[in-house]
Structure 1
Amino acid sequence: MSQDVHPDEQETEDDAERAPFRRYLTRAGAERLHRELVHLLNEERPKVTAEVSAAAAQGDRSENAEYIYGKKRLREIDRRLRFLQKRLDTATIVTPAEQTDRSRVFFGATVSLEDEDGGRSTYQIVGSDEIDASGGRISVESPMGRALLRKAVGDSVEVRRPRGDIELTVVDIRYE
């Protein structure tokens, strides 16, 4: 698990409150964020706190690289903890399997698509905190995610992307 600060964490609390849309998370995504929060809180933060205490005991803190780095790392962990807690507290958790209208694409759907050349791809529509393009999870806020919303099997969508526009046809919709 990467412990680096994620770029999307630069969002301030004011930005989150002003957001014009509701944040959704799948149940699996919420569980992943919760596991990360628990790991940081119960394992990572106590370990770094102990390292900072040991470095502080060495004396002059102004030139103590371990102390300076440890304090910086603690700030990063605390910032990530606040971010995760806020996300989990304010998100609407969606269980895709409970979707009643399974004939159209909604949040949490796993959608199989066919492109103009007959190539097939499958994506799950998830929240912005869950995206993993290599794992087939795309944001509901992405151009493709927005284009697919409310589409049914057989519908075609045109998606603008950096390599040029592409037309995709919905061939299957599943809620798992």
Structure 2
Amino acid sequence: MNKVPMTEGGFQNLKEELRWRQQEERPRIIEAISEARAHGDLSENAEYHAAKEAQSLNEGRVGELEDLIARAEVIDVSKLSGDKVKFGATVVIVDEDTDEEKTYQIVGDQEADVKGGRISVSSPIARALIGKGVGDTIEVNAPGGARGYEILKVKWA
């Protein structure tokens, strides 16, 4: 069983989503199913079929969350340090073509949010950054062609 790396914040978010799905969403769906059943003929009851589909999706996500939580390897970013990029690092890079600066934290797959500045450890840019230090340049194959970046800073939260 392979471990899934994640930050403490990402782990807490998964646990909260699991709690919400089990304690709030599941009872709401069960109520919707029983209400739709009361309407009679189930073969042509769109509300019933929609509620059953919602139940299936919810239970599937519950199973997925339970698996992720069981395999989680929570990494305390506050205890990490060093001058090389690794999981949990916050990296400031500059695009060599546009001089645009970007700041990313390298996190687990489940907690990635590019708009929030968190990129997955398995993303092409994170894989290129890992093991590098300030002043190093990397090349990332992006959909629009290869992009070059220089690492300006490596920070730890």
- For this structure pair, what is the TM-score category when the shorter chain's length is used for normalisation? over 0.9
Structure 1 CA distance for aligned equivalents of residues 103 and 55 of structure 2: 39
Structure 2 CA distance for aligned equivalents of residues 146 and 55 of structure 1: 49
Pick from 124, 129, 134 the counterpart of residue 143 of structure 1. Answer: 124
Match in the other structure for 1:84: 65
The answer for unaligned runs of 5 or more in structure 1 is 1-16
Residue 53 in structure 1 maps to residue 12 in structure 2: no
**Structure with the bigger percentage of strand:** 2
Match in the other structure for 2:9: 28
Pick from 91, 95, 105 the counterpart of residue 85 of structure 2. Answer: 105
Match in the other structure for 2:21: 40
Q: What SS is found at the alignment partner of 1:87?
A: helix
Which deviations, in whole Å up to 9, do the C-alpha atoms of 1:54-106 show, x marking residues without a partner? 1112221111111111011001000000001100110211111111x421111
Structure 2 CA distance for aligned equivalents of residues 170 and 22 of structure 1: 29
TM-score, structure 1 normalization:
0.85
Cα 1:96/1:159, change in 2 over 3 Å: same
Equivalent pairs, count: 156
Q: With a CA cutoff of 8 Å and minimum separation of 6, indicate the structure with the bigger relative contact order.
A: 2
Residue correspondence of structure 1 range 165-176 to structure 2 within 5 A: 165-176=146-157
Structure 2 CA distance for aligned equivalents of residues 27 and 52 of structure 1: 36
| Residue type at the aligned position of 2:95 | D
Residue correspondence of structure 1 range 105-124 to structure 2 within 5 A: 105-116=85-96, 117-124=98-105
Which deviations, in whole Å up to 9, do the C-alpha atoms of 1:15-44 show, x marking residues without a partner? xx5xxx642111111111111111111111
Residue 118 of structure 1, CA deviation? 2.0
Q: What SS is found at the alignment partner of 1:72?
A: helix
Structure 2 CA distance for aligned equivalents of residues 35 and 23 of structure 1: 17
Flag as ranges the 4+ runs of structure 1 deviating above 6 A.
none
Structure 2 CA distance for aligned equivalents of residues 75 and 166 of structure 1: 42
The answer for unaligned runs of 5 or more in structure 2 is none
